[in-house]
Structures are given as structure tokens and as C-alpha cells.
Structure 1
């Protein structure tokens, strides 16, 4: 009797190059060794023989590389245009070895993937990265490690400011991560919708940690998020605020005005790279009227608004042009492009400019209340303006307009009229505009408020009120009251005491047309996108 032992890499195809010759559009699967001996599973798409060696495009995923047609379709697009494409499962996901803890190992691991590819005889050593969401963030994790062969990036809808964006927004937990953790688990087994569970009941569960039982085997990641509810060392290690000055990589930043999952990250990365990076002249920003997923595959409508065919730009061609310049040296005019390309909702047209934010002056608007209605005006309120109050009930929180049984959550209605009619929502509206008004940048709302509880939340929206009465969301923001002074050390409220709360809203660029009104609303919940506050500290 004889026995044989295979090395980990022999778990994959024995003769990948021969296989690639036989079927050029089929990926070969291989193992990529990490510095600690763990191997990550990767699909490698080689271009036709005449195009090798070739520059490579790399994408990381926690969603199982073998179960998404998007990976194959995108890879084959670039493969047929003279690129090697490598899609790999992150540590502990799909066929990759090791234990997965979201975001923890992605920097060193992606560095090792890039440098391993650079050593292969089918690669020129010029390597770019691409990816959406999780795969957008892993690029920054890798870039912060400074891999020598990383030549450029296209980072789409990537997280930037942990604990200010996700999984907490200024102390408010995004319950949306329940869907995300669940989908990560399902993509490792089989793809089904969310209909098999009664999510309306599941998301009502208390404490929130009990929802983790539906996330296994990603329950640890879920619990990590709950355990680290302040800006502690766990989250600080994932932020690059002090490292952008060392990242010398051209990057195309992409996001969408209606990306509820992470709009702000791209702006954070772009702004910091423009401030401190040696590659500041090689940064570009594109922002369309898109949701999270549609930042990569744009549509022309969202949430009940049709923006016109120009909104649905061909992102394949945008990506190809970027890579052709930085990886192949094609003189296609990329350096001459304006740094910022943003879509203007309202006008429904693209605007090209050389800077962000666009606003050249700050405009103050005041919340006024005459005892009956709330107004939004550039005239300060009188000192005797009456106070307003509402009763927040965690059993009946103000809702997010969404179908929680559907994923991706990609077309959430923008019209807030029904939510605004609730007694626990304060509303302040301007007069009908006599001329266009453009809001551009990071809006902030300062309120002076008290609660009869030791903690609560503030959820704020700016909406565009159409002449027909629709109140269409433009941007939003939130703050847990105990985080008003610090994300690291929250402090309880003294019931009845008045505090100053500064609430940051998501960046926006929106044109309010003549005849429309600007509206600001304030309440204490946006459930189930965000977990409901129980008004308790800690």
C-alpha cells in the first residue's frame, strides 16, 4: 500500500497554465501563501497567451469568490482586454484557510497577495486593485502597508471613519449589519433571500446581541461590533487618518449620494489624500445618484426619482480607462480629467470641478417655531420662541422606509411624507424658493435640547419638498446623546438639563429648484436601519 501527501496548494488545479490554454476564459484556482503559512484561495483569470505577461487587477472578497457571477463577469471583461485578474477569498472565508475576523487581517494579507502576484511569470509587476464595499476598504488596508507593486486603486463605497460611519454612526449602531452578517454567512453556503426568516420579529429582539444567533458562523464578528461600541483601539487600528501621508498611490474614489451603507467613506479618503498624500495630484472622485451596489453598476433612477440616462454611466469603461493609463501606460488623457465629477440631483446633470467641497461660503439657517408650525429661515428666531417637545417610545420607533425582507437594500423610497406625519417627528420647512439653492458639503445641525432620560438619540434629515407635496430625502445624520463630546468616552445625560448637540449630516450636493422647499426633520429613531435607543446609558 502506498500513500501520498499533497501540499495545501495542491488542493487546487495541478496544471493551471495548461488549463488556461484549453479554456482562456476559465479561471484557474490556486493557493496564495501568507507570511504566517496560511493560504488564501484565489481564482486567476489569465489573458490570452499573446498578452502575457500582463498587468494584474486584484479584488478581495468575504462573499465566496465562486458564488458570484459579478466576479466572473467583471474578471472576464478585463481578461479579454489584456489583464490578469485575481479574485481571492479573504482569510477564513470561502476556500481560504484561517479564522475570519472582519477587517482584522486584510491589510497584511492583501499586501502578501499583491507581492505574490508580482513574482509570477505571467505578471508584469504592475498591479491595480478594485472592489466595492468590503473590497473597497481592503484596498486602503493594503495601501497603508505600502506594497511596492501596488500601482493604482479604484476604491468604491469604502468605509473610512470607523465609529463615525460604521458600524456605529456617532454612537448609533447600524442594525443593518445584521443583514450584512447574515449575507456573509449565506454566501458561504448557498444564496437565498431573506424571506426564510421573519426579520420583522428578529430585529425586534432584545438585547441586540441575541440577533447574533442568526449570524453563525459570523456571530463572533457580530459580537465584536457590539463589544466595541466606542472608538477604542480595535477601531483606531482600522483607521488611516495618520497614514494617508505615507500612501503614494493614485486612486479613483467612487460613491453614490444614496449609498446608505457607506456614503461618507469615499469623501473621507479623498479629502485626506488631497491634504497629505504625495499622490494628491493623482486622486479622482466620482459621485453619482446611486445606491451602494449601483456605484459599480449604475442605474438611472433611485427611490422614486428618475435622473435621466446620463446618470447610468458605463463604469466598466471608467475602470478600464483608469487601469489602461496607470498599468499599461496608455496616453488616454486620465491626468487631464477634472479631479471631481459629481452628479447634481435637482438639475440632473454632471458637474466637473477641480475641488471638493464646492461650497464657497457657509449659510446659516435657523429652526423657528411659533407655537404651531416649524419654519426654516435665515432670520434668527426671537429669544422668546417657544420650545418644542415630543415623546419617543422605543416600542413604536419612527421607521426607516424599507422592505427588510429584500437584499440588496438598493431602492429605499426617498419620500419621507408618511414618517414626517408622526407626532414624534419635528418638522421645519422653508418658504417656497424663489430661485435655485445649492447645498454642497457636510451640513451640520446644532440643537439645544434636554431629555428626561439618561441617554437618547437624535436623527436628522434634510429633504427636498416638491410642489406636489413629496418630501424627498437629500441627506441625513444621527448622534447618540451620550457621545456628544467624545466617541471614546461617552457620558450620560442629566435628565432635564439642556445640552448643545452638534449633528454631522452625510456629505451632499443638491440643487433645490425654484418652487421647492427645504425641510429639516428631527426625531429619535430610524428603525430598523439603526437600532432603536432604549434611552438608557451604557
Structure 2
């Protein structure tokens, strides 16, 4: 994941993710003047801001603002970005583009807080958060940058997506449009942990390079990438041992943000303060929330930011766009495939040209807008769908049951026998999350063929009969499991797969040595750390041998399982090194030692009295 993350961060810093043509760098220099400012905030700290203003001053232009923790480089009034705005269309249409290093990062003053806690009340004139920093920035720009038309739009992907969400909390009257894209919404649930399970490989590779400074001294210095000396992440993390060894062997307690995760494995006040969703009320700004069905980092953030904004601000225009993309995939490239799976053509340009550009153009320049509230790409059938609500009102809630004999059906199990399937989970031999060797969180894992696990006895598979008609799932998926374990803790990983028929043919995206006949495509997957089954704040041990409910969300999908395919559900208790290993003994896993890791036998019940099922929404 290390190289991929730094590639993404580099692209984010240049804002357009490969969208610029060869002519754009020259166009920028010929048509824009660049200015650099240290904009004062209400508490006296100054934030470094780069402003690109059209040379043609015969018109007045709206402001497009991006606030980022990934650097507004290149620095220097004569050093120009090679791309401006969300896409090349914005550049040629004429906007004032503004980029700002957020408080405590790069060339801005202050101390950096990861997902700065937002204040509901600002009791003093010097009480600050990202909302006040955005307000002060907008106010300064409108008063000091010539040629603006008094309207401001904000956009950003990932962390800049979070800063776009917090821009809404500025509630500045000039902020008329904002697009949080793959926004981090709740750091505990988005990037750090998934239902309490620690996202190991992604976070381990991220923080060394992200940590370019930990003080109040502005700098252009970049963080140093960690060099593991191997591409075999599975072997590397097994040899590393428990998570606490990240500091014992490598980081030596030098990375503050890394230690904050290790010090807070439960959903305590530290994380609650970093949940921006609780503040999204009284919003008047029009919003376009954007995400990707295959976003391994912030799928939760996009879906829940939209849902919260829509619920808490019913009179505000809130739009939602979801496509078949990885993290930020709509802003770069074509979005025509992921791994072996094609999407029937280029999907990303559809978003950039027909959704994003038109949204901002309408609210900032007054052009006509004919945009549905929901623009969602239906995978499987590979077509765009428009809805007025999400999930669609037409979707009917049903239960997809795990049955004896490894069958899967919408019909409830019958009979009186207390049936179950069981497996031995060994932390010393965890189930890999992808085939092959990699130190990265390879984004392709989210659609990858799962047949590489067919020989493992610690993976349970349940599948339907061959479908005699198309079945479309639209909306959230919830796992309701009845389980038991011989240990006192366990992880539960649930995966929903689309099993292709034996007649499926290869196409241009099929990888070398891969056969689409019988392909087991991952559609949705998620983990649950069992001790958090009743509360993320107060973990509880399992009682060995006791049948116990474990319920959790897998997040939303819009996918059609075609006639002739099958639906498969897989269950397992390790997913390595995507998530860290659970010792399967009730303990603080971040401080666990080698002696805490134990084999355990897990049962998944398939009987009428103890039903395990997925709650889905079927069109």
C-alpha cells in the first residue's frame, strides 16, 4: 500500500489526478497569475495560501477553494501547478483557484490535529476549528482578491474531502456549493478501524510519509517513506508479531498520530470528537457528495455524510454520486475497470463532465442544472441509475439465509435440528486478503476473485442455486449472525460474492492466467471485531460455547447478480494483513503479546432457532 498511497497523495496535491492535458500547464501560465499569502486567522495563526487568478479581469469569477493537509506545492510565486480545479473543464471555464495548507501542515502555522475536533459553540473570539479557519479564509479572500463575484465553492478528496465537509460548518453566506468527495467522516470507522478491527496494512504504510512535522514550525519537508525491505506483506507482518511491535521494532514511539490509534482501540472521547457527522445541521450550502463503490478507505464516509446531510437538512439541495471507483477514481483516469472486472466503458468522464462540472457551474455561475438527486452506477449490469432517494424506495428488505449444506437462500431454514458449521481459526496461519505478495492494500482486492481461498478449511462458503432471473441489491447490507467460539474474542469477516457461470468468457480486462468462467467476484466485504458487538465504547468478552448474536453493517451496494450467476457469502475470522490479527483472547489487542494469541474453534449457526442471515434490499 505504501507506494500506492504516496502516489495518491502526490496526485491529490496536484488536485486534478491526471485530468490535465499536455496543453494545460502552458495554458495556466498564459492565463493565470499566481499569488501567495499568509492569511491570518482569528487567533493570530497564519495559513499559507496559493491563489491563481485569471489574467482577464473583464469578468468577475467565482472562487474554487481546496484546503489540504497534503501540501499546496509547488511553493514560490513563479512555481505553478500543472493542473487547476477538479478537472480541466474548470480551468478553461475561468475560476479563481485557491489552495491552502491547513493549520499545522506544511507552510501554515499552528499544531496539526488529525481531523480537528469541531466546536458546537465558539465561546471566545479565539476559539478555532476547521470551520472557523474556513470562514476566516473565505472572508479574507473576498475582501483581498480582486475580480471575485462573491461566490465560493469548495471541493476535495479524502482528507481534503473532510476539510470540505468542515467548510460547510463555517456557514459562511458566500459558500454556495461544496463537494465532499470520499470524505473521512468518522476517523474510527473510516480509516483507522472498521467495526473495531484495526486496518493494519493501510495505516502502517501511511503515517511515516504523512508525518512531515509534529510541531508549529512551517516547513516544506516531506515525511520519509518506510522501507520494509520486502514486497511480501503477509510474511513481513507475521514476522513483526503483535501490533505493539510496530514501535518496538520500527517507529520507536516517534509518530504521534500512530500512537493515538494504538492508545485508543475503543470508541472513546478521542474518536467521538473526530466524528464530524454529529455537526452537520443547519447547512444552507448546496452539496454534492461523491464516493466509489470500491473505495477501500472511505466508503463509510461518503455514504454517511450524504445520509446525515439529507436527514438533518431536508430543505438544502443535497446530491449524491456513486460510481464503480476506488478512492478518488472518479477524478483521474477513465474508471473503465478494476482488476479483472470491466464496467462497460469509461465512467469517470461521465461524472466529471455531467455531474461535478454542471453542479458547480450552476451554483457559482448560474447555468441551468438538470441533475438528479442520486446518480448511482449499477455494477453487474454496468449502467447509470437515477433515483430521488437512497436507498431507492422501491428496494424491498429481505433476508438471505445461511442454510445447512453450505446453501444460501431467501427462504428461512426449517426443521428443529440445531445445525451449524465450524472451523478452527489460527492466528499463526491467518487467511490472506489477496492472492500473491504485496506490502500494499492493493485496491483491486475489492473486486478480486476469491477462488484462491478454495482450499482453506477456515473459510466457510454458502451459495444460492443458479439464478433464474436477475437480482439487484440496492442499499445497505447488514450481517445478522449467530455464532459461538471456544475463545473469548473473535473477528468475523463477511464477504458477498458474485459467482460467474462456467460459460463466462474472458475479455480485455481479464488478467494473465485468469479465467472468468467460475470467477468469484467480491462485491462487498467487511470485518467485525467481536468484542465490540454490543458497543464500540465498552468491549465485552464472549462466553465460550454460548450462542451469541453478532450484527454489523457491510455498507451499501448497487449490484445486479445476473441470471445464470450465483450469490455466494463467505465467512472467516482472519483477513491478513488488511486487518490485524485478533488473539482470540479478550485483551487490549494493541498491547497484546505473542502469548495472548490462541487457536479457537468458531461456529456459525444455520438453524431455524439460531438463524444467520444477511439483511439486504432487493429491487
Under a length normalisation based on structure 1, what TM-score does the superposition of the two structures give?
Answer: 0.87
Residues 16-38 of structure 1 deviation map (CA, whole Å, 9 limit, x = unaligned)? xxxx9986446322212222222
RMSD of aligned alpha carbons: 2.9
Counterpart check, 1:398 vs 2:444: no
Higher alpha-carbon deviation: 386-395 or 188-197:
188-197
Paired with 2:271 and 2:49, the residues of 1 have a C-alpha distance of 28
Counterpart check, 1:329 vs 2:387: no
Alignment match of 2:518 (pick from 462, 469, 484): 469
Residue 272 of structure 1, CA deviation: 1.8
Higher alpha-carbon deviation: 291-300 or 402-411:
402-411
Residue 86 of structure 1, CA deviation: 0.9
Alignment match of 1:115 (pick from 139, 145, 157): 139
Please give the secondary structure, in 1, of the residue aligned with 2:576: coil
Counterpart check, 1:379 vs 2:411: yes
Paired with 1:509 and 1:344, the residues of 2 have a C-alpha distance of 5
Q: Hey, what does 2:551 align to over in structure 1?
A: 502
Paired with 1:320 and 1:402, the residues of 2 have a C-alpha distance of 39
Tell whether the 8 Å contact from 2:41 to 2:137 is kept in structure 1 after alignment. yes
Residue 226 of structure 1, CA deviation: 2.0
Residue 119 of structure 1, CA deviation: 2.3
Counterpart check, 1:414 vs 2:448: yes
Tell whether the 8 Å contact from 1:101 to 1:220 is kept in structure 2 after alignment. no
Count of residues in Structure 1 that have an aligned counterpart in Structure 2: 512
Tell whether the 8 Å contact from 2:459 to 2:571 is kept in structure 1 after alignment. yes
Residue 70 of structure 1, CA deviation: 12
CA 1:225–1:285 in 2, change beyond 3 Å: closer, same or farther? same
Paired with 1:33 and 1:403, the residues of 2 have a C-alpha distance of 51
Q: Hey, what does 2:275 align to over in structure 1?
A: 239
Counterpart check, 1:223 vs 2:262: no
CA 1:286–1:524 in 2, change beyond 3 Å: closer, same or farther? same
Paired with 2:261 and 2:351, the residues of 1 have a C-alpha distance of 33
CA 1:465–1:194 in 2, change beyond 3 Å: closer, same or farther? farther
Higher alpha-carbon deviation: 464-473 or 174-183:
174-183
CA 1:106–1:533 in 2, change beyond 3 Å: closer, same or farther? farther
Residues 436-483 of structure 1 deviation map (CA, whole Å, 9 limit, x = unaligned)? 001111111111111122211101000000012111011112211111
Unaligned ranges ≥5, structure 1: 1-19
Paired with 2:256 and 2:195, the residues of 1 have a C-alpha distance of 23
CA 1:236–1:192 in 2, change beyond 3 Å: closer, same or farther? closer
CA 1:319–1:197 in 2, change beyond 3 Å: closer, same or farther? farther
Unaligned ranges ≥5, structure 2: 1-26, 117-128, 214-219, 502-516, 589-619
Counterpart check, 1:156 vs 2:181: yes
Paired with 1:453 and 1:181, the residues of 2 have a C-alpha distance of 33
Alignment match of 2:290 (pick from 228, 233, 254): 254
Residues 280-300 of structure 1 deviation map (CA, whole Å, 9 limit, x = unaligned)? 4x1111111110021322420
Higher relative contact order (CA 8 A, sep 6+): 2
Tell whether the 8 Å contact from 1:291 to 1:410 is kept in structure 2 after alignment. yes
Alignment match of 2:208 (pick from 182, 192, 197): 182
Paired with 1:299 and 1:406, the residues of 2 have a C-alpha distance of 24
Alignment of 1:339-354 (within 5 A): 339-354=373-388
Q: Hey, what does 1:88 align to over in structure 2?
A: 100
CA 1:523–1:405 in 2, change beyond 3 Å: closer, same or farther? closer
Residue 110 of structure 1, CA deviation: 2.9
Residue 229 of structure 1, CA deviation: 2.0
Paired with 2:403 and 2:28, the residues of 1 have a C-alpha distance of 71
Paired with 1:391 and 1:290, the residues of 2 have a C-alpha distance of 35
Residue 172 of structure 1, CA deviation: 0.8
Residue 129 of structure 1, CA deviation: 0.5
Residue 235 of structure 1, CA deviation: 2.0
Paired with 2:347 and 2:478, the residues of 1 have a C-alpha distance of 28
Alignment match of 2:150 (pick from 107, 125, 134): 125
CA 1:498–1:524 in 2, change beyond 3 Å: closer, same or farther? same
Paired with 1:482 and 1:70, the residues of 2 have a C-alpha distance of 51
Under a length normalisation based on structure 2, what TM-score does the superposition of the two structures give?
Answer: 0.77
Q: Hey, what does 2:318 align to over in structure 1?
A: 283
Paired with 1:140 and 1:364, the residues of 2 have a C-alpha distance of 35
